[in-house]
Structure 1
Amino acid sequence: MKYYLIAGEASGDLHASRLMHALKEYDVEAEFRFIGGDLMAAEGGTMVRHYRELAYMGFVPVLLHLPAILGNMRRCKHDIVRWRPDAVILTDYPGFNLSIAKYVKARTDIPVYYYISPKIWAWKEYRIKNIKRDVDELFSILPFEVPFFEQKHGYPIHYVGNPTAEEVGGFLSGYSPSADALALPSGDVGASSKGIIALLAGSRRQEIKDNLPAMIEAVREFMGDYRVVLAGAPSIPAEYYGSFVSGTGVEVVYDSTYRLLACSTAALVTSGTATLETALFGVPQVVCYETPIPKVMAFLRRHLLKVRYISLVNLIADSEVVMELVADTFSVDNIRRELRRILPGQPAREAMLRGYDEVRRRLGTEKAPDNAARIITGLLGGADGRNKSAKCLESQ
């Protein structure tokens, strides 16, 4: 079978690469063509574009790069039609991917599968019309999405398990912090007796610029008792981090986020998958997310967002397990105060750890990539026959 996959950022690259690996287990003749990153490239196939050419965040950056974004989208659509895959598999990144789905559905009979469903329960719920029209099968990794899609919108989906839970569990099963001795790339073995406060400031430049300075300022008073270690995003060069951490005593480590969390006492984390990873490692955290025009954004959050929380931890638990400092509540003083509350010996720390147990229970132990790959290959090998050729309605 021929699979065309699209992932528009680092987390999508990770999840899509794991799905590719699982697809090869079920389909020994699997061929891949994709927009993605280095992890997907390691699984084989042909990379059409790197996700770095797509990943722009915020109104102004998107506007400035609009010609490039539209050009990449146009090339991707034409490339799919020319290659004629047996399936198109989209991973998150809805602004780009839903446009691709619409094009593929309108001009071909190629099935469109969406792995890591768009988070329309938080924002732009009207997109359900596009999903119903253009997506053949939707694969969810968040259990609370099932009632949202099936009961509220009458659209059946597959909850296949949560890959982050599986990945963290797999890492912890073969990892020993005592054997590692906190030998991180920039680590000082002599300082390894200190606890660690981890900083996870996002994977995009704008996120880092908005959040990291306040995070660093908030942890200054704790640096006598703790090492402060920043998890570097793979797509961000060291020089960019240097402009923020130079002279502060903050260490930066690359390709060691899981090792860092496994050894950390507490963490400051931006929203996203990182909040869930931190919870699954059992590290108490403060969720920090600075926004432009804080009071306006706070108003919009109260009146336009469809959910009470922004962190996956709280959304999965359906309760406030972790403190979210967002928009008008984001400040150095608030971050510092909440960090102090979750350090060892504080009641809030123990309460948060109990909340993490409920998150783990709700996620379950299913293997998401394996389940999704089994379902996808089963669908493609059904009554219509194997290696079904996509009939293109528009020649290029």
Structure 2
Amino acid sequence: MSLKVFILAGEPSGDRLGGALMAGLKELRRDVAFDGIGGDLMEAQGLASRFPMQELSVMGLAEVLPKYRHLKRRIRETAEAVIAQQPDVLITIDSPDFSLRVASMVKAGSNIRTVHYVAPSVWAWRPKRAVKMAKSIDQVLALLPFEPPLMEAAGMDCDFVGHPVVSEPLATAAEIDSFRAQFDLGQAPLLLALPGSRRSEVTRLGPIFGEALQAFQHFHPEHRVVVPCAAPVTDLVRAQAEEWPEDTLFLDPKAYEAEDFAAIKRAAFAASDLALAASGTVSLELAAAATPMVIAYRFQWLTWQIMKRMALIDTVTLVNLVSETRVVPECLGPDCEAEMIAHELDALAKAPELQKAAMAVTMQRLGLGGEAPGLRAARAVLNRL
């Protein structure tokens, strides 16, 4: 009998995880058959998506409300399809508002085994989410090494399978040289600036980053600022150019084929001597490239007040958490001001080596040098069936 897997993802990051997991399952079991919802990468592994994954890729209350009835109908349709198919396992990937509602309905109507890929960040806030999740999820595939005990304490099986950042390609020395030549950068030290990928982030952070970088460059005029723009916000970042240092190099993804821009971005990360970045998983991309960083983020006032009261951790940067250090400086909330950011960048420029060891430990703990995360995830699913 073939192994029947119903798998679903709701956004591009989940599609990447799903594609790698499906490839791993196909490597370990030639008789595997897939059904479900996914994007291009999952479809490339043989999934015929029941509807376009983009229907689920909505974020924020304002975006969700107009589509609430449609999303609710898709949740019900998907759960009914799972129960009708009776697969050996249902694998839901991230997108908890969709995934966990589907899993809950499936559990209420069957005894199908459920696996959720990407543990909720209960170590950061709202720890009771794990207990609620355990009512409908049998197994969790965790990206971070300290997550399994937290999931197991709530009553679920949990396997650390490695973070996908460890399997991403890194720029070669030749690619770095080519990048410098292509953009006439010579041997100038480079400062990478990453103000976010969402319009709300860039609107809040762009002017602050620009002012901070101008202040830093006043004392370090030898540094060139490089900004690999995210496609959804390229025009917005460029519109803020007057507030940024004059010789800032803005890299526009719309000017290149996707693979070419990905290579340029990798080279920019690897070629840079230090970075200023918005808070998020980009800190792990910088760690993979061994690029020391300052993390900054300006929250909405209400969000910041809630976070201060509910947060269970004293840092938001994954490098600090995974390495169990606090070497990456953070300018968050009211501290996200140009003067303070420039001060932290100045200190980093004078002693960048302080972060190197922590970044190396982070990559090692996330699975660098071991089996690819997608294959580890596949093995974890099969081992517990």
- For the aligned pair, the TM-score class normalised by the smaller chain equals 0.7 to 0.9
Matched residues in 2 for 1:75 and 1:242: separation? 42
Which residue is 1:351 aligned to?
354
1:77 matches 2:74: no
Quote the sequence identity (%). 28
Taking the TM superposition and a 5 Å limit, the aligned residue runs for 1:241-280 are 241-245=237-241, 249-254=248-253, 255-256=261-262, 257-280=265-288
Kindly tell me: are residues 276 and 49 of structure 1, through their superposed partners in 2, closer, same or farther at Cα, counting changes over 3 Å? farther
Deviations 1:274-311 (A, max 9, x none): 11121121111111222111xx5444333211222212
Q: In the aligned structure 2, how far is the partner of 1:246 from the partner of 1:14?
A: 36
The two structures, once aligned, show a CA RMSD in angstroms of 2.8
User: 2:348 is matched with which residue: 339, 342, 367?
Assistant: 342
- Secondary structure of the 1:181 match is helix
Contact 1:269 1:286 in 2 (8 A): yes
1:375 and 2:377 are equivalent in the alignment: no
**Contact 1:93 1:118 (C-alpha < 8 Å) held by counterparts:** no
Counterpart in the other structure of 2:258:
none
In the superposition, the TM-score normalised over structure 1's length comes to 0.81
Aligned residues: 366
1:284–1:316 CA distance, 2 compared to 1 (3 A): same
> What is the DSSP-based 3-state SS (H/G/I as helix, E as strand, rest coil) of the residue aligned with 1:198?
strand
The equivalent residue for 2:160 is 159
CA distance in 1, matches of 2:14, 2:147: 18
Q: What is the CA–CA distance in structure 1 between the aligned matches of 2:50 and 2:241, rounded to whole Å?
A: 35
Does structure 1 residue 102 correspond to structure 2 residue 104? yes
Q: 1:229 to 1:41 in 2, by over 3 A?
A: farther
Contact 2:270 2:289 in 1 (8 A): yes
Deviates more, 1:137-146 or 1:49-58: 49-58
CA distance in 1, matches of 2:282, 2:172: 21
The DSSP-based 3-state class of the residue aligned with 1:333 is helix
Structure 1, residues 210-261: CA drift from partner, whole Å, max 9, x if none? 3333223322353953333333335x26445444448954412434233321
Letter in 1 for 2:192: A
Query: Does 110-119 or 198-207 show the bigger shift?
Result: 198-207
Cα shift at 1:83: 4.5
Which of residues 37, 40, 59 in structure 2 aligns to 1:38?
Answer: 40
Which residue in the other structure is 1:393 paired with?
none
In the alignment, the residues of structure 2 paired with residue 212 and residue 10 of structure 1 have an alpha-carbon distance, to the nearest angstrom, of 24
Query: Residue 177 of structure 1: which of 159, 173, 179 is its match?
Result: 173
Name the counterpart of 2:228: 231
Which amino acid in structure 2 is aligned with residue 369 of structure 1? Answer: G
Q: Is the 8 A contact 1:3 1:33 kept in 2?
A: yes
Question: In 1, are the aligned partners of 2:197 and 2:233 still within 8 Å (CA)?
Answer: no
Matches within 5 A, 1:301-316: 301-316=307-322
Distance 1:218 1:122 in 2: 28
Aligned letter for 1:276?
L
Q: Distance in 2 between matches of 1:233 and 1:13?
A: 18
* Structure 1 stretch displaced more, 23-32 or 280-289: 23-32
CA spacing shift, 1:50–1:316, aligned 2, 3 Å:
farther
CA contact 1:232–1:252 (8 Å) conserved in 2: yes
In the alignment, structure 1 residue 330 sits paired with structure 2 residue 324: no
Match 1:28 to one of 7, 17, 30: 30
Correspondence 1:195 to 2:189: yes
Specify every segment of 5 or more residues in structure 1 that has no aligned partner in the other structure, as ranges: 381-396
Among residues 209, 214, 219, which one is paired with 2:213 in the alignment? 219
Q: Aligned pair in 2 of structure 1 residues 16, 302: CA closer, same or farther (>3 Å)? A: same
- Partner residue of 1:385? none
Greater shift in the superposed pair: 8-17 or 105-114: 8-17
Structure 1 residues 6 and 192: alpha-carbon distance in aligned structure 2, compared to 1, 3 A threshold: farther
1:54 is matched with: 56
Change over 3 Å in CA distance of 1:63–1:225 after alignment to 2? farther
Structure 2 CA distance for partners of 1:205 and 1:157, relative to 1, 3 Å: same
Structure 2 CA distance, aligned partners of 1:376 and 1:149? 16
Letter in 1 for 2:158: I
Partner Cα separation in structure 2 for residue 65 and residue 226 of structure 1 = 46
- For 1:321 and 1:49, the matched residues in 2 are separated by 45
Provide the secondary structure at the position in 1 that maps to 2:343: helix
The separation in 1 between residues aligned to 2:73 and 2:229, in whole angstroms, is 30
Shift of 1:272: 2.4
